[in-house]
Chain A
Amino acid sequence: MTPPFLRERPLTACHECDLLLQPAQKKLHQIVRCPRCGYKLYQHKPGSTHNTIALALAGVVFFIPANTLPIMSMELFGQTHIDTMLTGVTRLFDNGHWWISGLVLLCSVIFPLMRLVLALLVLIPLQLGRSSRAQIEAFKLYHHLSSWSMLEVYMIGILVAIIKLANMAMISPGYGLICFTGLMLCTIGLSQTLDEHTTWDLLEKYRHD
């Protein structure tokens, strides 16, 4: 039943409209789009593995200070209150909003960290020419977590909170904010530099077991 053209060269299909396509020759920095629906099928990202490992390592370094140092502090009636990534979460939890507290914790702390760590667990062995079932599972999880890591949304949340409070109290940004910004840039950069297509191809190529 296979039409003759299928046997000639490998094909691909568009993820969003299912159009069957002849893959083009990969060129440097080239973005390949589906001719029917415009979906970005493939983007060549040179040095993807190196760059992503570097960014993920930098992100992991930023992670602890970003979560433990104060993002900002506020002085009101002579008392100072600081906000780290975790104080809001624990206060929500203490006041019985365990569901919201868990959701905020997952989207602003746990998922971003998991993505950084998973990227390292997949890419470092891959860089050494190794591929295993564990790496494949890790990469799947990385892929599924992508829309649930929301540090850039949190960043806008910090700005909204600062402007809201600016005329009622003294707000001073803390060192945590600098580390948080670094962490956020690393997680955004991760999705920009990681070439998922090539990574899947390499994971398949280096598989021996």
Chain B
Amino acid sequence: MTSARHNNLCLCNTCHKLCKKPPAAQTKALCPRCYSPLFSRKPETLIRTWALTIAAAILFIPANLLPITTITYLGHSQPDTIMSGIIALTKAGMIPIAIVVFIASIAVPVLKLLGIVTLLLSVQYRWSMNPTQRTLMFRMIEWIGRWSMLDLFVIAILMALINLGNLSEFEAGSAANAFGLVVVLTMFAATSFDPRLIWDQDVTTDDKEPKDIKDD
């Protein structure tokens, strides 16, 4: 199997036009069709993805330790972290909601961070993991990231509805800001990772002809 890169070609990342690979010296080549910068692999993809992932992992700590919401009921304030909120939901018997919030706010960010770190390490240290499985993992990470916004949307909705001053009030806590950053940073980390790196180590150059596309 032969890659576009081996044939001095490069696919535009934005409009998917196959172009001639820009010479290494020329750093600002543009796609002739959509004027996006052309590069055969995303520039500094590993270092950027590492930086975004590490920043997200660090922010995930205050996001979980600080209160994400404060509920005031008849003058009594009850701050809740993500986890204590989930426990409170379980105690109130709202198990399905507790599971949904747990998946969106804890499971998804943790699995995303671990997934990106696995992809980065597997590329850097040329681990012999199945590339098809790693590509699937990348697609999952890319697709699932936005669902972590769920908790922040719920907070915005509840803040609009529960607003009675001292009687009963719902307030976002400082963890919400950190959590919002975690979601945004992990989404950027997923887009800055170049999945073609997974296949670069796999290239066996004995088969020179391009493959025919299979139908579905």
Contact = CB atoms under 8 A, between A and B. Distances in A.
Contact of B154 (A3, A18, A164): A164
A140 B34 contact: yes
Given A31-B216, A92-B156, A164-B97, A13 B150 contact: no
B152 A100 contact: yes
B195 interface: yes
Interface residues of B, number: 77
A27 B198 CA distance: 31
Nearest to B73: A168
B146 interface: yes
B199 A3 contact: no
Interface centre among A11, A17, A83, A153 (most CB of B within 10 A): A17
Contacts of A33: 213-214, 216
Contacts of B36: 140
Given A21-B210, A97-B177, A150-B146, A37 B131 contact: yes
A104 B212 contact: no
A204 B18 CA distance: 13
B210 A24 contact: no
Interface string B72-104: 000000000000000001000010110011000
Contacts of A154: 153
Nearest to B145: A147
A156 to B, nearest CB: 6
A42 B158 CA distance: 42
Interface string B1-15: 111111111010111
A161 B213 CA distance: 46
B132 interface: yes
Given A74-B162, A164-B97, 7 more contacts: A17-B195, A20-B3, A77-B168, A100-B152, A139-B34, A140-B14, A157-B156
Interface of B: 1-9, 11, 13-18, 33-36, 40, 89, 94, 96-97, 100-101, 131-132, 135-136, 138-139, 142, 145-147, 149-150, 152-164, 167-168, 171-172, 176-177, 180-181, 184, 187, 191, 195-196, 198-200, 208-216
22 contacts: A3-B208, A13-B3, A17-B135, A17-B199, A20-B2, A20-B9, A21-B213, A22-B211, A30-B216, A38-B136, A83-B161, A88-B159, A92-B159, A92-B172, A97-B172, A99-B177, A100-B155, A103-B184, A104-B153, A137-B35, A148-B146, A157-B150
Interface of A: 1-3, 5-6, 10-24, 27, 30-39, 41, 71-74, 76-77, 79, 81-84, 87-89, 91-92, 95, 97, 99-101, 103-104, 107-108, 133, 136-137, 139-140, 143-144, 147-148, 150, 153-154, 156-158, 160-161, 163-165, 196-197, 200, 203-204
